[in-house]
Amino acid sequence: MNESTDSVSNSGREALDRIVLVLYEPQDLVNIALVVRAMKNMELTRLCLVSPAEYDAWRITGIAHDTEEIVERVRIVESFEEAVGDTVRVIATTGRRRAKRQEWSEPREAAAAILQRTVDGDVAIVFGREDRGLPNEVLDLCDEALCIPTNPEHPSLNLAHAALLVSYELREAARDLGGLEDRDLSGKTRDQAPPATAAEMEEFFALWERALDRVSMFKGGDQHSKMRSFRRLFRRAAPDGREIRLLEATAWRVLHHADRTLARLSEAQSEAETDSSAEADSAAGA
């Protein structure tokens, strides 16, 4: 590689556009669809299939929704050499490290270097068959290999899972180069309320104390000590304005429920006294 390309000069978007995922003799159409879905998630756009056992674009887009732009560009070729002939670097994915000397690495540590290779042209990432991976004759045609670290007692990965993991690491490296739009994970606008003010907190504490007193929370105990504990608890939670209003609504529900309960008890007691008085009058008349 020329010294002029020692550092990546193109953006992350441009680098990802030069990555080609190659599936060697995929056996299951569903796995192809799931690879397409992973590519959509990670902003990869180019897929090449070498002698797939079956292929149906309509079924694939039915499984991997909103991926028509990827499926329309899928290349289907008969030989591995045709799939990678125009690429400047061919990288195999394999779960076994061969005795033959071959450069290998894990996806996370290799991702930045793979994107750097795209300065010179397209780079192929090759995935093998679901049942037996890549044969030796294909591995011999690759420049290096990626090995995904997995549980040694159960190392095999589903084709789509492997493609997703590798694609994720490539996109993470591409984010550092720029040109990709990050998702807003901060939540809905309506959930982003300003912090509760000191006045709002004090108004809530007064209402909370009334509600607890109404349900005899302070009976037989130190009211001030308990309220001090509640103050520490709610201040540690640092509620925002929306949350403090929710807590106030809860306190009002406690008060209203207590009032209705007391009213029912008072009514029941009044009826009992009326019945008792009637029985006493009846007994006196007798």
pLDDT > 70: percent of the chain: 85
Helix axes 107-117, 159-177, angle to 10 degrees: 60
Q: Which domains are delineated in the chain?
A: 3-177 (3.40.1280.10), 191-279 (1.10.8.590)
Q: What's the confidence (pLDDT) of residue 215?
A: 87
The per-residue pLDDT for range 186-238, each reduced to its tens digit, is: 666 556 689 999 999 999 999 999 999 988 888 877 899 999 999 999 999 99
SS3 46: strand
Strand order in the sheet with 103-105: 75-77, 46-50, 19-24, 123-127, 89-93, 144-146, 103-105
Decide: pTM greater than 0.75: no
Q: Determine the Cα–Cα distance for residues 33 and 53; give it in Å rounded to an integer.
A: 13
Q: Does 6 score more than 60 pLDDT?
A: no
The per-residue pLDDT for range 122-176, each reduced to its tens digit, is: 999 999 999 989 999 999 999 999 999 989 888 889 999 999 999 999 999 999 8
